Amino acid sequence: MTAEYFQRDRRWHPPAYTPDYKTTVARSPNLPLLSVENSLSEITGPTFSHAGLGPLDHDLIRNFTGEEAIGERTIVHGRVLDQNGRPVKGALLEVWQANAGGRYRHKKDGYLAPVDPNFGGCGRCLTDEDGYYFFRTVKPGAYPFRSFSNSWRMAHIHFSIFGAGMTQRLITQMYFEGDPLRAQDPIANTVPDQAAIDRLVAPLDLEASVPLDSLAYRFDIVLRGRRQTMFENKLEGA
């Protein structure tokens, strides 16, 4: 079966060079990307199964020590679809984030806010048959970083997503509805179109909350669509 993917819209994604996010200045290629037709090398990619995951991998409140982390107890859930609206089943999602005070558990993070002894800050899960996933965590705090002298990240959760192949590979960040730091965040604003940033902002989902336990936010993810090749160009070997 032939499968190729929709062209990525690189005017919708952030460009490589975004000088307000200063680190991009020396880390952005100057020359154009080489556009290549998809071969087996691009439409394939790693696959994962539940066998590789542990039972608490999706529960950041408890997966570090087994004791409960401190913070605003939060469910993050949603679906992974492609641009044709089809669910992406068996997609691996990996998430990482700071704790409720904006401190990362990383040897290179020197922020003065303390680590939470019961919070690691990472989790992972696979989407089900309908492309659905969920995590449980604490809402991360805002985080200062050296861009301008007084730059702060909006509260955010990093997401890494493996779709069906390397063509769909994506890393992004999820933000929370109503965050007042949005306008000054140089990283969120590497995305040129406000409508595209809106897509990274998860709305509060009160109907999915657990009363007297956890709030919920809804974050749906769209990966590249697969093309129907009707006339020609069958991939050799595929």
Partner 1 sequence: MPLEYPKETPSQTAGPFVHIGMMPRVAGFEVFETELGQVPAAEGVPGTRITIEGRVLDGTGTPIKDALLEIWHADAEGRYAHPEDPRVNEVHEGFTGFGRCHTDLDTGTFTIETIKPGVIPGRHARPQAPHLNIWIVARGINIGLHTRMYFPDEENDDDPLLGMVEHLHRRATLVASATGENAYRFDIHLQGPQETVFLDI
Q: Which positions are annotated as active-site residues?
A: 104, 143, 153, 156, 158
Quote the least distance from Cβ 113 to partner 1, whole Å: 14
Q: Is 210 in the site for partner 1 (CB under 8 A)?
A: no
Q: Is 23 in the site for partner 1 (CB under 8 A)?
A: yes
Candidate list 71, 135, 210, 221; residue touching partner 1; CB under 8 A: 221
Instruction: Give CA separation, 32 vs 10, 12, 25, 29, 104, in Å.
Output: 12, 17, 15, 8, 35
DSSP secondary structure code for residue 4 in this structure: E
Stretch that binds partner 1, among 68-76, 158-166, 176-184, 201-209 (CB under 8 A): 158-166
Q: Is 76 in the site for partner 1 (CB under 8 A)?
A: no
Q: Is 29 in the site for partner 1 (CB under 8 A)?
A: yes
* Overall residue count recorded for the chain in this entry: 238
Gyration radius (Cα) of the chain, Å: 19
β-strands 122-126, 92-96: how paired?
antiparallel
Give the count of beta carbons closer than 10 Å to the beta carbon of residue 79. 18
Q: What is the dihedral of CA 36, 3, 50, 70, to 10 degrees?
A: 60
Stretch that binds partner 1, among 69-77, 89-97, 127-135, 207-215 (CB under 8 A): 89-97
Instruction: Give CA separation, 62 vs 15, 46, 86, 136, in Å.
Output: 37, 28, 32, 9
Give the footprint of partner 1 on residues 128-157 (CB under 8 A). Answer: none
Nearer to partner 1 by Cβ, of 44 and 184: the residue is: 44
Quote the least distance from Cβ 208 to partner 1, whole Å: 20
Q: Is 197 in the site for partner 1 (CB under 8 A)?
A: yes
Q: Which residue in 200, 226, 213, 198 sits closest to 78, CA to CA?
A: 200
Nearer to partner 1 by Cβ, of 85 and 211: the residue is: 85
Candidate list 69, 117, 180, 237; residue touching partner 1; CB under 8 A: 237
Q: Is 229 in the site for partner 1 (CB under 8 A)?
A: no
Q: Which residues pair with 174 in a beta bridge?
A: 157
